[in-house]
Chains A and B, each alone.
Chain A
Amino acid sequence: MPPIARRWYPDPVSQVPIHPGLFTLPGDPRGPRLLAARCPSCAGLHFPAGETCPYCGTDGCREEAIGAEGRLWLWTAVRTAPPGYRGPVPYGFGVVDLPEGLRIVSRLASAEVERLREGQAVDLVIEPLFTNDAGDEVLSFAYAPREAR
């Protein structure tokens, strides 16, 4: 019996976050969340999470996983890749109000500005934005309009 030809399997694509500590990774039991931080003194939330509160200067802010969904406040679309950007164009860009009490600047999963509207429900997605020089898929966050999915 002839030897079985060895089949070639691609290496499983590895995925890396665009920056550590911004959001939960695929497989996290909490689901897609942004990693914000809450101040122990003024209770204000901020993102990305840092040790010190940007509103009152208190140390010891605690991480909170938030932002699974929100409401769109403001939006536009970027049509020309800005310097340093490594994802596709056009892409949506906007401000989302989170029910936890935070306004987030975010990429939007839709660049169809004429279909976006104030108060529209949006959901957080953690998805590949580009492939880096090492061949890894680089994950970033965006908000996707619920109706458009």
Chain B
Amino acid sequence: MKGGRAVHVAGVGLHPFGRFDGKDVTRLGQHAVREALAEAGVGRGGFGAAFCGTVYTGVAAGHKVLSGLGLSGVPIVNVEAGCASGGAALSLGAAAIASGQHDRVLVFGMEKMPRGIIRSSFFPPWCEEAGLSPAPAYFALRARRLMLESGVTREHLARVSVKNHANGVDNPFAMFRKPFTTEQVLASQVVCDPLTLYMLCSPNEGAAAVVLSCEPGPVGPPVRVLASVLRSHRPGSVLGEHTPMSGLPGAEPPTPTETAAREAWEQAGIDPRDLDLAEVQDTDSGREILSVEELGLCERGGGGRFVEDGVGERTGRLPVNPSGGLLSKGEPLGASALGQVVELAWQLRGSAGPRQVEGARLALGHTVGRGANASVVVLGR
């Protein structure tokens, strides 16, 4: 990363995303951690610190994972940053390598989400009683705005879902591996108009881990972290992921995704037009389009056109969510950002199997959510 030592992804591990009754979150995390450490050829004493991203797991979540494996003793930092928790953990780990504080660190994230619409301790009780808290309703308002300002249609929203579910068919780590047609997506149950059931991702369970190192790992062509940035919201936007009850009309401050992206291009020293693929937040299909706009992968207001032209299809100029995205993988908050990093590392090594984007050299990961928090990661080889 700019101004510091190179940060390599020396090993990766992933527990599939899905529902795993009878397997607790600590075991999910241990599965991913063991894989990443084994791939990096690292054991006890082989990493100087551990950073764990999770939201719903409770006290000392990362400590439990490493205690059970006999790996405690190093500093273990548990990080909560909503949907960007794994990205937050990664940015701390990458900074520790780049600065020379540690030569190797372990970064992991895991989650076992409650079922149904996610209840959060974020809102005061009266907001929940008054019906002002449901996440899908906020998603729907942002999607409605895309329809008003970005030329997005219901068919475009459906097409994003069709694309991601088609991609997910080839992903053994995804929860949903069934393709849908546009008609099926549009005809599925309306959750919050204009969003239907198949346009929304499902909260679930999973874990992901990476070993970061100042040197390349033993497996595959070296993959480097070129940027890992976390940003929070600036006040003023009523539609921000910090979900205020009010905001100001007129010129809006840049979103956390926009500010994180700008910093990431700077840190990596890249032009986003050179990206070969992107894994972006797609908690609903409107969110994917908004993410593409906020990241500057198309112009503001150009989201409808981006979908219409098929730019983000697997065969398009910039494949977006070739893994199937959260729409097919499901969303375990603490694991989702690092799940992207694992997928992107496979893509850059050329080992993504049927999901492989040929010749991928520069890849983007993005998550955004409650807080508000946005994380932007650039990996390259």
Total residue contacts A-B, CB cutoff 8 A: 120
Docked pose: A107 CA to B127 CA in angstroms: 11
Closest B residue by C-beta to A105: B245
A78 touching B137, Cβ below 8 Å:
yes
In the complex, whether B249 has a CB less than 8 A from a CB of chain A is: yes
Give the residue of A19, A54, A76, A87 whose beta carbon is less than 8 angstroms from that of B137.
A76
Docked pose: A115 CA to B5 CA in angstroms: 58
A75 touching B144, Cβ below 8 Å:
yes
Most chain A CB within 10 A, of B130, B137, B243, B247, is at B130
Give the residue of B119, B141, B245 whose beta carbon is less than 8 angstroms from that of A104.
B245
Task: List the A side residues contacting B236 at CB < 8 Å.
Answer: 55
Docked pose: A94 CA to B192 CA in angstroms: 11
Task: List the B side residues contacting A106 at CB < 8 Å.
Answer: 132
A interface footprint on B134-169 (CB within 8 Å = 1, 0 otherwise): 101100110011001000000000000000000000
Docked pose: A81 CA to B22 CA in angstroms: 29
B235 touching A84, Cβ below 8 Å:
no
For chain B, which range describes its interface: under 10, 10 to 19, 20 to 34, or 35 or more residues? 35 or more
Docked pose: A148 CA to B238 CA in angstroms: 26
Closest A residue by C-beta to B236: A55
Chain B contacts with A in 101-143, Cβ cutoff 8 A? 116-117, 119, 124-126, 128-134, 136-137, 140-141
In the complex, whether B190 has a CB less than 8 A from a CB of chain A is: yes
B238 touching A78, Cβ below 8 Å:
no
B131 touching A87, Cβ below 8 Å:
yes
Residues of B near any A CB (own CB < 8 A): 116-117, 119, 124-126, 128-134, 136-137, 140-141, 144-145, 148, 190-195, 235-236, 238-239, 243-249
4 closest residue pairs by CB, A with B: A84-B128, A76-B140, A19-B126, A82-B134
